[in-house]
Amino acid sequence: MKRRDFVFSSAVTAAAALIPSSLRGGEPQKTPLTGNALRFPPVLQPGQQLTLTTTNAEVWPGQLTEVIALNGSYPGPTIKVKRGAQFSVIFNNQHSEEATIHWHGLLVPELMDGQPKDAVLPGASYTYTFMVTQRAGTYFYHSHAHHITGKHVYKGFAGFFIIEDDAELQLGLPAGEFDVPLVIQDRRSANIPQFTYQPAMMDNMLGYMGDTALVNGTPDAYLEIHKTLYRFRLLNGSNARIYNIAFSDNTPFTIIGTDSGLKDETVQASSVYLAPGERLEILADFSNHQQGTSVNLLSLPFTAPGLQGDSITLMRFDITGTQSSGGVIPQLLPAITYYNYADKLRTREFVLSQGTMATGMHRINDKVYDMNRIDEVVQINELEEWKFVNTTNLYHPMHIHGVMFQVYSRGGNTTLDPKDKGWKDTVLLFPNETVGVLTKFTDHAGIFLMHCHILEHEDMGMMINFRIEGEPTTSTDDEGRINGFAQEQNYPNPFNPSTVIGYTVGRRAMVELELYDIQGSLIARPVSRVHEPGRYSIRVDFTGQGLPSGMYIYRMKASAEGKTLFVKSGKMEYIK
Ligand code: C2O
Ligand code: CU
Ligand code: CU
C-alpha cells in the first residue's frame, strides 16, 4: 500500500465516525439523466491574447446567447499561473464600449489594476503585466468599466485566475480532475436564452438578481463524480446574489481556503455564505455516498429583501464512479500571522448609507464615487483598522483593492466565527452590521479602490478612491519576496523610447542590473554599485542606440560578502 493511500483511507474512517447518522443522507436519490454536463472554460495558453468582443455563445443547448466575452468564451478563459512568475497578456478591446481587466485579489501596480480611470477604449489594446506575488489560491478577473461593470460581468466578462505554488502542492489535496473550480452566477429565466441586463429601480436598489443558476456558464449543470474526496474552488461571480452554500443531503464539508488562499485551520461546516467577489475552497467527501445517487449543491434560504435569500439549486453531483482522488484533508495547514490590534495606528470609519436617486442611492461616508477625487490617503506599511458601518437594511460585500486583509470584529464581537478567519479581500456585511478589518498596504503605492461588490451598488457610486503613499520596502513571505529583494516588471511595457525598472534592495548589497538581447549578448549595464536598503528605479532609454524592435532581457543580481543574495530576470519589449 502506498503511503498516500494509507493516509487517505484512515482519514475517511475518521471523518465517517464524526458524522452523525442523521446527516448521512436519507433515501438515496436516483440519478436523473437530465441537465447539461458541467463545462470548463479553456485554459489561457502562454502567449495567447485576450480579445473582448460581442459574440454569441451556446449557453442553453441549441440556442444562442449574446455575450460580451474574452476570446469568445463564457465564462472567460481560466488563467493558471505559478506564484513568483511574471504574468503578461495583451488585452484587445474590440467591443463597442470602454473596458478594463481588473485582477481581483491580486496585488499589482496601480496601472495594472484595471481601474475605471484606466479604461482601454474601443479598438485599443493594453498590455497587463505583473509579478504574481500572491499566495496560491483562487482569484478571478472581470471588467471594471465605469458605470457598466454590472452589465459587462452579467453578459459574461469574468473568469478564473488560479495561482499555484509548490508548498500547496505538497499538502496532498485532491488534484487534477478532483480539483474543481466552480463559478456560480445567476440569470433570469424569463429572458432565456438572453442575458438581458436592464436594471429597474428595484434592481439598482437590491442588485440585479436572477432566479436560475449557471455554474461555469452551464445551466442545470451536473458533474459525474467518484466516491472520494473533492476540492471545490467556489467563486461567486454573480452581480448581486449571495449564496448560502450547502449540499442537499446536508453532507458536511471542510472549508480550507478563503479569498487569498488556504486558511490556517480547517473548518467543518454544513453551510456557509458566499457573497459576490468572495471565494471559498472546500473539501467534500463523497466516499460514503452510494453509487448511482445524486446530491445537489444549493443555496439555502435566508431572510432578505426581494429575490435575495431565495433558495436556489446550483448544480448536481452524480456519484457514478469509485476511483479515489488520493487526496487528503490536511491535518496541518501553513500558519498565518495575525495582526495585533494593538499595533494599529488608526481607525478609519466608512459609513454605508442609502439615499435617494438624487443624493446617491448607495453611499460611503455620504458620497458617491468621483473618479477624480481622492477620498483617503494611507501610508504604506501602516497597520489600520477599516471599520465598515452598514446603516442600511441591505447586504454589502465590501472589497478593497491592493491588499489582503484580516477580519477583526463582526457586530462588535472580536471572537470571530472561524469562517471569518484567514486572508480576505472581500467581506460580507449583513444588514445594519458593523465589521472591522485590519489592513496593511505593503506592495504598491498609488491610487486604488474600495467598493461594494454588488455591482449595481458599485456602478451607482458605492466606491471610493484611496491613495497609498510611500515606498514598499518590507519583506515577508506572504508577499513572496526573497530576502527583501525584488525586481519589478518594467513600465511601460512595451515601450518606446524608454522604460522604468523598479527594484527593492533588502539589505546593503552590490547591485548589478544588466540588459541582454534575446540571443543573450550583454548590451548594457545600467546599474552597478553598492546600495543601501530601499526601493530604487532606473530608467532605460533606447534613444539613438540603433537597437531593433523585440524582446530584451534585464537581469538584477545582488551580492554581499562574495555571496549571491538575489538573481532575477525580466522580459521587456521595445517597439520602434
Ligand atoms: Cu472584483 Cu474592484 O473588484
Ligand atoms: Cu478587486
Ligand atoms: Cu452594496
Question: Closest ligand to 142 CA?
Answer: 1
Give percent above pLDDT 90 in the chain.
Answer: 78
Strand partners for 224: 318
Position in ligand 1 atom list of the atom nearest CA 140: 1
- Any idea which of 102-116, 251-265, 330-344 has the lowest mean pLDDT? 330-344
The yes-or-no verdict on residue 560 having pLDDT over 90 is no
Position in ligand 1 atom list of the atom nearest CA 104: 1
Q: Rounded CA gap, 15 and 251, in Å?
A: 11
Question: Closest ligand to 449 CA?
Answer: 1
Tell me if residue 11 falls in helix, strand or coil: helix
Q: Is the CB of 152 under 6 A from ligand 1?
A: no
Ligand 1 atom 1: residue of nearest CA: 104
Residue 69: which residues within 8 A CB-CB, separation 6 or more? 52, 53, 55, 57, 76, 155, 156, 157
CA proximity to 295, closest of 237, 231, 227, 243: 227
pLDDT confidence of residue 558: 87
The yes-or-no verdict on residue 328 having pLDDT over 50 is yes
Q: pLDDT averaged over the chain? A: 90
CA pseudo-torsion sign 254, 454, 148, 99 = negative
pLDDT confidence of residue 20: 37
pLDDT confidence of residue 443: 87
Q: Is the CB of 104 under 6 A from ligand 1?
A: yes
Q: What is the pLDDT of residues 196-251, one digit of tens each?
A: 999 999 999 999 999 999 999 999 999 999 999 999 999 999 999 999 999 999 99
pLDDT confidence of residue 134: 86
Is-cis flag, bond preceding 46, omega within 30? no
Residue 482: pLDDT band with limits 50, 70, 90: low
pLDDT confidence of residue 474: 44
Residue 133: which residues within 8 A CB-CB, separation 6 or more? 83, 84, 107, 443, 479, 480, 481
Residue 318: pLDDT band with limits 50, 70, 90: very high
Q: Is the CB of 11 under 6 A from ligand 1?
A: no
Ligand 1 atom 3: residue of nearest CA: 104
Q: Is the CB of 95 under 6 A from ligand 1?
A: no
Question: Closest ligand to 428 CA?
Answer: 3
Distance 236 CA to ligand 2 centre (A): 13
- Any idea which of 273-282, 514-523, 564-573 has the lowest mean pLDDT? 564-573
Distance 56 CA to ligand 3 centre (A): 31
Q: Is the CB of 144 under 6 A from ligand 1?
A: yes
Q: Rounded CA gap, 237 and 58, in Å?
A: 19
Position in ligand 1 atom list of the atom nearest CA 451: 2
Distance 403 CA to ligand 1 centre (A): 12
Q: What is the pLDDT of residues 395-419, one digit of tens each?
A: 999 999 999 999 999 999 999 999 9
Position in ligand 1 atom list of the atom nearest CA 142: 1
Distance 452 CA to ligand 2 centre (A): 10
pLDDT confidence of residue 532: 82
Question: Closest ligand to 276 CA?
Answer: 1
Give residue 372's region: left, alpha or beta (phi > 0; psi -120 to 50). alpha
pLDDT confidence of residue 167: 83
Question: Closest ligand to 279 CA?
Answer: 1
Q: Is the CB of 399 under 6 A from ligand 1?
A: yes
pLDDT confidence of residue 488: 86
Distance 39 CA to ligand 3 centre (A): 30
Q: What is the pLDDT of residues 253-304, one digit of tens each?
A: 999 999 999 999 999 999 999 999 999 999 999 999 999 999 999 999 999 9
CA 407 centroid distance within chain? 17
Position in ligand 1 atom list of the atom nearest CA 458: 2
CA proximity to 228, closest of 2, 41, 15: 15
456: buried, middle or exposed (CB in 10 Å: 19+, 13-18, 0-12)?
A: buried
Q: What pTM did the predictor assign?
A: 0.80
Position in ligand 1 atom list of the atom nearest CA 426: 1
Give residue 479's region: left, alpha or beta (phi > 0; psi -120 to 50). alpha
Give percent above pLDDT 70 in the chain.
Answer: 92
Distance 126 CA to ligand 2 centre (A): 19
Neighbours of 357 (CB within 10 A): 10
Position in ligand 1 atom list of the atom nearest CA 463: 2
CA proximity to 19, closest of 395, 287, 338: 287
Q: What is the pLDDT of residues 17-55, one digit of tens each?
A: 333 333 334 444 454 569 999 999 999 999 999 999 999
Q: Rounded CA gap, 554 and 414, in Å?
A: 48
pLDDT confidence of residue 359: 87
- Any idea which of 12-21, 221-230, 387-396, 546-555 has the lowest mean pLDDT? 12-21
Give residue 461's region: left, alpha or beta (phi > 0; psi -120 to 50). left
Question: Closest ligand to 103 CA?
Answer: 2
Q: Is the CB of 102 under 6 A from ligand 1?
A: yes
The answer to whether the beta carbons of residues 103 and 139 sit under 8 Å apart is yes
Q: Rounded CA gap, 135 and 263, in Å?
A: 11
Q: Is the CB of 449 under 6 A from ligand 1?
A: yes
Distance 278 CA to ligand 1 centre (A): 10
Q: Is the CB of 150 under 6 A from ligand 1?
A: no
- Any idea which of 46-50, 360-364, 401-405, 569-573 has the lowest mean pLDDT? 569-573
Residue 473: pLDDT band with limits 50, 70, 90: low
pLDDT confidence of residue 1: 31
CA pseudo-torsion sign 429, 433, 438, 443 = positive
Q: Is the CB of 457 under 6 A from ligand 1?
A: no
Structural domains in the chain, CATH included, are: 1-26+171-335 (2.60.40.420), 38-168 (2.60.40.420), 341-469 (2.60.40.420), 486-574 (2.60.40.2550)
Distance 58 CA to ligand 2 centre (A): 29
Residue 14: pLDDT band with limits 50, 70, 90: very low
Q: What is the pLDDT of residues 138-147, one digit of tens each?
A: 999 999 999 9
Which cell goes with 557?
543580481
Q: Rounded CA gap, 413 and 95, in Å?
A: 47
Q: What is the pLDDT of residues 490-505, one digit of tens each?
A: 999 999 999 999 888 8
Position in ligand 1 atom list of the atom nearest CA 144: 2
Distance 268 CA to ligand 2 centre (A): 28
